[in-house]
Structure 1
Amino acid sequence: MVKGYFLFALFNRGPEIELMAIACQTKGVNCTDPFSVVSGKNCCQNSSAESDMVAHGLQSSASKNMIHFAQMVTRGTITMFDYDNKDENKKHYGQTVPPVYNLKSIPNDFPLFLCHGGADTLADVYDVQHLVDTLKDHAGDKLMVRYIEKYGHSDFLLGVDAKKEVYDPLMAFLKLH
């Protein structure tokens, strides 16, 4: 068993571990770094903070949440949960297919700070650009988009320079609004 996968298995049970097992058998997937399997390669993680996250931070997720995430990824949609049953969808949503989340319903004057990285495979550059394009009518001073090319998904939380790259600009933005 690969070391990183073993650490992940210690702290997780259920469908997530099965998903991880499948991912780790995929050619080109590096399971010595369990975070990068789903979120991309990170550049700047603080190794002591990473140890804390492995020891305390890995939490399982509800199966329905994981299925919903997988539905949106595989279908390329941003919709509510699909019960894969027209009657169930009709009962929950009043229609046979799950409704699309209306991102344009975000008020144009609501302050939004979007920060993304070039190596992040969960919030990849194309998806963030799609969101930014959807928000094109947003008030200019209420929308800040910050791109950090070298950052992967976990770098935003565990990056040794995250304070300077992410949190200082975020706090400055929040102070303005």
Structure 2
Amino acid sequence: MTWLLGSPEESLPYILADRGFDVWIANNRGTRWSRRHVSLDPSSRSYWNWSWDDIVVNDMPAIVDYICSHTGQKPHYVGHSMGTLVALAAFSEGRMVDKLKSAALLSPVAYLSHITTPIGIVLAKAFVGELISNLFGIAEFNPASPQVSNLVRSFCRNPGINCYDLLTSFTGKNYCLNNSAVDVFLKYEPQPTSTKTLVHLAQTVRDGVLTKYDYVRPDVNVAKYGQADPPSYNMSAGPAWAPLFPRPAGRDSLSAPADVGLLLDDLRGHAGDRLAVQYLQQFAHADFVIGVCAKDYVYNDVISFFHRFR
């Protein structure tokens, strides 16, 4: 849904379609358009017992396989924010990468220890995900629910958090968002996800490393992973031949430049033109998907990159 909130002239899927691409758009599980299940109901805790690890292992590979089987072609991949995290984690484990032509990573996320978003830091350091899950028994993190809304409102009292401009508080000062775009965005976003995913992201912020979900108790980790600590994702383990187009932003509070620097250090083994990094110093996190100037600053370059690796 996020990709389709702007006008057809400003939204990447429409622009790609107008340039002759077939466009397949994936919904993360648990969001408005992806809540069905073969046996579980969204009202049950079991339905929400997953983190973004499960998207890495199950969902994204299944989506890519589905597209390949229906088209007979390898697709290009475009991810933004967590969409980049899922792709990079999958590549590090050898998943999907041989079935893609290339990947554009807009506002790439891997490490999160240098985030500067005030409300994100407060939420992560206060173990809010664990608080919501354990104390209130909320397995679905739905920002529109009264429980979550009230909790976030209580954190708005912290110094430095401007809840009258929550988008900027989360993403950084965006460059080319008009008021109507922000209004439309906040009408539909953010979408629900599992509280377990929120906890997993908070662990990454607090611990400074990128690992699979940490169950904290060594015996549970051993049962799940065969070791007392969760395994790390090795971002440098992805194949050097895979064409990647990271597009970081200089004002991004979530994909902070210092964290992007750590990621790019991991990717430095990529061969020649297979890694095309372009910083947008004036951009922040939301510019890439709802910025009125994203077409000129981002999307045209994405399309040119795709054409290089047809």
- Seq. identity, %: 36
**Which residue among 36, 42, 50 is the counterpart of 2:174?**
42
TM (norm. structure 2) is 0.51
CA contact (8 A) 2:250 2:279 kept: yes
Matched, 1:166 2:298: yes
Q: Report the secondary structure of 1:72's partner residue.
A: helix
CA contact (8 A) 1:13 1:60 kept: no
**Which residue among 103, 107, 115 is the counterpart of 2:239?**
107
* Residue in 2 that maps onto 1:70: 202
Shift of 1:23: 3.9
Instruction: Give the paired residue count.
Output: 168
Structure 1 residues 150 and 156: CA distance shift in structure 2, 3 A: same
Structure 1 CA distance, aligned partners of 2:275 and 2:206?
A: 29
Counterpart AA for 1:64: K
| Higher relative helix content | 1
Cα offsets for 1:15-48 (capped at 9, x unmatched): 7536633542221122111122222221211322
* Residue in 1 that maps onto 2:257: 125
Structure 2 CA distance, aligned partners of 1:71 and 1:25?
A: 23
TM (norm. structure 1) is 0.87
Structure 2 CA distance, aligned partners of 1:138 and 1:20?
A: 41
Structure 1 residues 23 and 167: CA distance shift in structure 2, 3 A: farther
CA contact (8 A) 2:143 2:149 kept: no
CA contact (8 A) 1:117 1:151 kept: yes
CA contact (8 A) 1:23 1:37 kept: no
46-55 or 63-72, which moves further after superposition? 46-55
* Structure 2 unaligned spans of 5+: 1-141
* Residue in 1 that maps onto 2:193: 61
Structure 2 CA distance, aligned partners of 1:27 and 1:130?
A: 29
CA contact (8 A) 1:39 1:154 kept: yes
Structure 1 CA distance, aligned partners of 2:169 and 2:186?
A: 14
CA contact (8 A) 1:43 1:155 kept: yes
CA contact (8 A) 1:82 1:98 kept: yes
* Structure 1 unaligned spans of 5+: 1-9
